[in-house]
Amino acid sequence: MVTGAAGFIGRNTVAELNRRGLTDLVLVDDLGHDEKWQNLRGLKYEDLVRPSELMAWLGPVGLRGVDAVVHLGACSSTTEADADYLLENNYRFTRRLCEWALANHSRFVYASSAATYGDGNLGYSDEDTATARLVPLNMYGYSKHMFDLWALKSGLFDRVVGLKFFNVFGPFEDHKGDMRSGVAKAYEQIAGTGSLSLFKSYRDGIADGEQHRDFIYVQDAVDVLVHFLMTRERSGLINCGTGVARTWLDLGTAVFAAMDRPANIRFVEMPSVLQGKYQYFTQADTTKLREAGYEAEFLTLEQGVERYVRDYLVPRDDPRGPTQVGS
């Protein structure tokens, strides 16, 4: 079972499971009235269930058994102001689903977030001893942190896997609007105006555009997830990032190169709603990930951006019709 299955990482996860011959899947998502349903095209699965109906649906299904639950469904907006909504959607629902999975002997892999690390002053270690000290900068990060803390306090990380996703980018994030990756938004800006706007820096010692992020291509993130889905002897709260921090200038330059255009970057004021809640540096500590047996190398930022732009974004915008990557 995959929740958030029509979403960004969810869609790519289902496609990877299909590539591995797994089609007996139950997908969980709200399709709403936008075009997110299009992400389901080309996927193979058994049923599609709304989140609001899931717990009732699971009652009889639990008798037959669900082998594994991949819980990716959440509100991922870092600017969402409805704290009660985030509490219910990102914490309480996750807790109910985890309790169900454990009671039914199902593998439970869920999405945490690098937003739990706050401003990064405490580092980016995913060791259990570091988790309780973290101070997220926004309610989204806090809602994710709440579940991490509950799972830690309850002693569940010997059976449950939480993946702290860093800045994931890649195909099938179109529906996310303003929460799309910096790569997607940069491509749109450059295609429309020929230039790219990046936020100015408001921190001494950090030049404009030199804010750093750990950018990870979505297929790499999915490969990490599937590793823990298939390799069940290792669990825990684990970073899902490359371990390499790159600048927003690096990202912008890579997008221009992938589009075969000269770089044209300017710097603009950061919205006041983000000032004070902005991460100036993120970089995953990948020690636990490697100790858990994940050995594959990650794409570089340039490799991931080139693949995303040339294999998906450009063909998607081609008047001859989109290319369905991963179908």
Q: What is the pLDDT of residues 186-227, one digit of tens each?
A: 999 999 999 999 999 999 999 999 999 999 999 999 999 999
Q: What is the mean pLDDT of the chain?
A: 93
Q: What pLDDT sits at residue 204?
A: 93
Strand partners, 113: 165
Q: What pLDDT sits at residue 64?
A: 61
**Res 60 pLDDT > 70:** no
Of the pLDDT bands very low, low, confident and very high (cuts 50, 70, 90), residue 131 is: very high
Say if domain 2-169+215-243+284-299 classifies as CATH 3.40.250.10: no
Rounded Cα distance, 190 and 261, in Å: 9
- Give pTM, 2 decimals: 0.94
Of the pLDDT bands very low, low, confident and very high (cuts 50, 70, 90), residue 327 is: very low
Mind listing the pLDDT tens digit for each residue in 232-265? 999 999 999 999 999 999 999 999 999 999 999 9
Of the pLDDT bands very low, low, confident and very high (cuts 50, 70, 90), residue 37 is: very high
- Around 158, how many Cα atoms within 13 Å sit in the side-chain half-sphere? 3
**Res 318 pLDDT > 90:** no
Out of 44, 176, 200, 277, the active site residue is 176
Token pair recorded at residue 86: 């985030």
Would residue 36 show up in a list of annotated catalytic residues for this protein?
A: no
Out of 45, 110, 117, 140, the active site residue is 140
**Res 322 pLDDT > 50:** no
Tell me the three state secondary structure of residue 75: coil
Would residue 187 show up in a list of annotated catalytic residues for this protein?
A: no
